[in-house]
Amino acid sequence: MSTTIAVLTGAGISTSAGIPDFRGPDGVWTKHPDQMSVYDIDLFLHNKEDREYSWRWQKESPVWNAQPGAAHKALVKLEQAGMLSLLATQNFDALHEKAGNSSDVIVNLHGTIGTSHCMKCHKQYATADIMAHLDEEPDPHCHRRLPYRGDMPCNGIIKTDVVYFGEALPDGAMEKSYERACKADELWVIGSTLEVYPAASIVPVAAQAGVPITIMNMGSTQYDRLATRLIHDDIAVALPKLVDETIAKG
Ligand SMILES: NC(=O)c1ccc[n+]([C@@H]2O[C@H](COP(=O)([O-])OP(=O)(O)OC[C@H]3O[C@@H](n4cnc5c(N)ncnc54)[C@H](O)[C@@H]3O)[C@@H](O)[C@H]2O)c1
Ligand SMILES: [Zn+2]
């Protein structure tokens, strides 16, 4: 049996794909604290202007337009080698999906921008379809016809599946992450300050279960003391290298 690796990724894996992190020196919130309102569920639910702003911002932001980089592709290689048992991510940029990792291993702890839902009837939409018509419909609503309402359109508010502030994490996301992280031979944390809970708690939970932990992050994290290996290099270079070494060892 080859080694199995559980991976937790954060904003730092996507900075080289052109998406700034939130809390780093060039972070979105460091520079523009007002941008936090883009992902505020109360504002989104109650004000048309805030919904329009949130949709427009998401369409124009690099989160929507970015393409996976070398580090994302390295994790596809790890899965293809049969060694990746979990890819839990705090990112909602859908870059792990775009790179080619499978839904079997990906857990989007903070949701994803790739899909959207009607908040009333729960119909799923591809966010790409909604973005394509955003100029005509800046505050997207559900057009599904409801037979039980005389074929009237549902007209519910549509929202991307990004977890906004004030919303719960997707069902089962933490449970699956804890379970797979605790069963893995190693846990790798890639590009996260480990400040956001409950996502960060995967690290102490896995450590408690005796899983060796690698933290790859330019800056320090609050769980550095639990790590058996710390790598302070650029993820775009260091992760492909670590994956190749790990596959070579088997
Ligand atoms: N891409 C995205 O989807 C995205 C982007 C920003 C923020 N977020 C959200 O905001 C929260 C951010 O928390 P977080 O812990 O993921 O990120 P964070 O912004 O708190 O921390 C990112 C860390 O990555 C490090 N880093 C950045 N670029 C690096 C590189 N090239 N090589 C090595 N290290 C690098 C920084 O030093 C920093 O410590 C998450 O909850 C996430 O949902 C998502
Ligand atoms: Zn609907």
Of residues 33 and 11, which shows the higher confidence score?
11
The model's pLDDT over 195-219, given as tens digits with 9 standing for 90+, comes to 999 999 999 999 999 999 999 999 9
pLDDT at 243 over 80: yes
Query: For the chain, how many structural domains are there in total?
Result: 2
Confidence grade of residue 61 (pLDDT, cut at 50, 70, 90): confident
User: Phi and psi of 209, rounded to 5°?
Assistant: -80, 5
Do 238 and 193 share a structural domain? yes
Burial class (CB in 10 A: 0-12, 13-18, 19+), 45: middle
Do 228 and 177 share a structural domain? yes
Q: Which domain holds residue 118?
A: 26-61+111-162
143 catalytic per annotation: no
Ranges 53-67, 79-93, 199-213: which has the least confidence: 53-67
Closest CA to 15 of 88, 96, 69: 69
Distance CA 101, CA 99 (A): 6
Residues in the 5 Å CB sphere of ion ligand 2 = 118, 120-121, 123, 142, 144, 154, 156
For residue 148, what pLDDT is reported? 84
HSE-up of residue 79 (Cα within 13 Å, Cβ side): 20
Do 91 and 134 share a structural domain? no
Do 219 and 188 share a structural domain? yes
Pocket of ligand 1 (CB under 6 A): 10-12, 14-16, 19, 21-24, 27, 63, 90-93, 110, 191-193, 195-196, 217-219, 234-236
The model's pLDDT over 101-123, given as tens digits with 9 standing for 90+, comes to 999 999 999 999 999 999 999 99
Tokens 């972070």 belong to which residue? 27
The model's pLDDT over 23-55, given as tens digits with 9 standing for 90+, comes to 666 776 666 666 778 899 999 999 999 999 999
Distance CA 95, CA 115 (A): 13
- Among the candidates 162, 186, 201, a domain finishes at 162
Do 99 and 8 share a structural domain? yes
User: Alpha-carbon torsion 175, 178, 180, 182, what sign?
Assistant: negative
Mean pLDDT of 220-249: 97
For residue 124, what pLDDT is reported? 97
Do 244 and 196 share a structural domain? yes
What's the distance, CA 221 to chain centroid?
Answer: 19
Distance CA 242, CA 235 (A): 10
For residue 32, what pLDDT is reported? 67
The model's pLDDT over 146-194, given as tens digits with 9 standing for 90+, comes to 888 888 999 999 999 999 999 999 999 999 999 999 999 999 999 999 9
User: Residue 199 belongs to a domain with what CATH number?
Assistant: 3.40.50.1220
